[in-house]
């Protein structure tokens, strides 16, 4: 069963990497585990040693019979993870999510987690290193952007370790990294999340402009806010973006 380019498949073949990922989870038999994209079962086999019954979501229908035959206790959902209702999928709550995400779907999968953060215990993903860097970025760095702000609002993000291309078949042209997302309670809650997203979009679509110019359509009065109208989005903190969004909610243009 060869990797299919249209599915963005790069199968994990380094047993030491698989073991390191699963060991980092400290799994317990009663854990509610969902694996995205089990592929040939590199992680699945190790999870099965710790958790007797769990769920996997696989898009490639040719892999389904193999997975079901190899893992009798595995509940395999044959589906595109981007089309699944995560609220329904995580209905048991306290779910432990993990997977080696194809690079072409990593961002949309991460965004789908935002509304269901409260149903997760944690989410551990293998991602392209550049994507992982965006999730752990800090203001003032080139990697700081809209996705990082959104994820860090809902999750604490831990950088675990990097994985070289040689750990996969076929070998990708990039280095990967493993990260873990743990739901957190925001220091200050966003009042209107859609407005928060709109503000982030406006800001980072004009990341080279000052906040005064990039957010001009929102008519923000910066005199009473922590953020300066002369600073740029890539130096604006999460707390400042939350404050800006909540001010816009309280002072509609």
pLDDT digits (tens, 9 = 90+) for 132-151: 999 999 999 999 999 999 99
168-169/11-12 β-pairing? antiparallel
Average pLDDT of the residues of the chain:
94
Identify which of 40-44, 88-92, 181-185 has the greatest average pLDDT. Answer: 181-185
Give bridge partners of residue 176 from the DSSP assignment. Answer: 128, 163
Q: What is the pTM of this model?
A: 0.93
Query: How large is the average pLDDT for residues 42-57?
Result: 95
Give the pLDDT score at 8.
Answer: 53
pLDDT tier at 9 (50, 70, 90 boundaries)?
A: low
Give me the residue label for tokens 């990922």.
Answer: 21
Give the pLDDT score at 231.
Answer: 96
SS3 (DSSP) at 97:
strand
Fold annotation for 5-183: Rossmann fold (3.40.50)
Q: Give yes or no for residue 6 having a pLDDT over 80.
A: no
- Asked if omega into 170 is within 30° of 0 (cis), the reply is yes
Question: Residues 44, 56: contact at Cβ < 8 Å?
Answer: yes
Nearest to 119 by CA among 151, 136, 94: 94
Give me the residue label for tokens 């402009």.
Answer: 209
CA distances from 143 to 102, 146, 157 (A): 20, 10, 14
Q: Which residues contact 124 (CB under 8 A, 6 or more apart)?
A: 21, 24, 25, 96, 97, 98, 160, 178, 179, 180, 181
pLDDT tier at 104 (50, 70, 90 boundaries)?
A: confident
Tell me: domain 193-250, CATH 1.10.8.100, correct? yes
pLDDT digits (tens, 9 = 90+) for 205-238: 999 999 999 999 999 999 999 999 999 999 999 9
pLDDT tier at 2 (50, 70, 90 boundaries)?
A: low
What is the residue extent of each domain of the chain? 5-183, 193-250
């Amino acid at each position: 069963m060869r990797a299919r380019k249209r599915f963005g498949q790069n199968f994990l073949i380094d047993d030491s990497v698989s073991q390191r990922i699963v060991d980092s989870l400290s799994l317990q038999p009663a854990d509610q585990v969902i694996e995205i994209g089990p592929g040939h079962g590199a992680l699945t086999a190790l999870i099965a040693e710790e958790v007797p019954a769990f769920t996997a979501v696989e898009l490639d229908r040719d892999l389904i019979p193999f997975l079901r035959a190899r893992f009798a206790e595995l509940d395999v959902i044959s589906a595109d993870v981007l089309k699944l209702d995560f609220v329904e999928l995580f209905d048991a709550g306290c779910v432990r999510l993990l997977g080696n995400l194809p690079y072409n779907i990593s961002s949309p999968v991460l965004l789908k987690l935002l509304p269901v953060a409260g149903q997760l215990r944690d989410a551990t993903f293998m991602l392209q290193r550049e994507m992982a860097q965006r999730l752990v970025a800090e203001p003032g760095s080139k990697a700081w952007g809209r996705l990082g702000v959104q994820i860090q609002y809902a999750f604490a993000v831990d950088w675990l370790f990097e994985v070289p291309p040689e750990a996969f078949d076929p070998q990708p042209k990039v280095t990967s990294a493993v990260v873990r997302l743990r739901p957190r309670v925001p220091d200050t809650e966003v009042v209107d999340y859609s407005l928060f997203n709109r503000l982030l979009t406006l800001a980072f679509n004009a990341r080279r402009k000052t906040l005064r110019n990039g957010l001009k359509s929102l008519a923000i009065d910066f005199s009473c806010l922590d953020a300066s109208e002369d600073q740029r989005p890539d130096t604006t903190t999460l707390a400042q973006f939350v404050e800006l969004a909540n001010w816009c909610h309280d002072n509609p243009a």
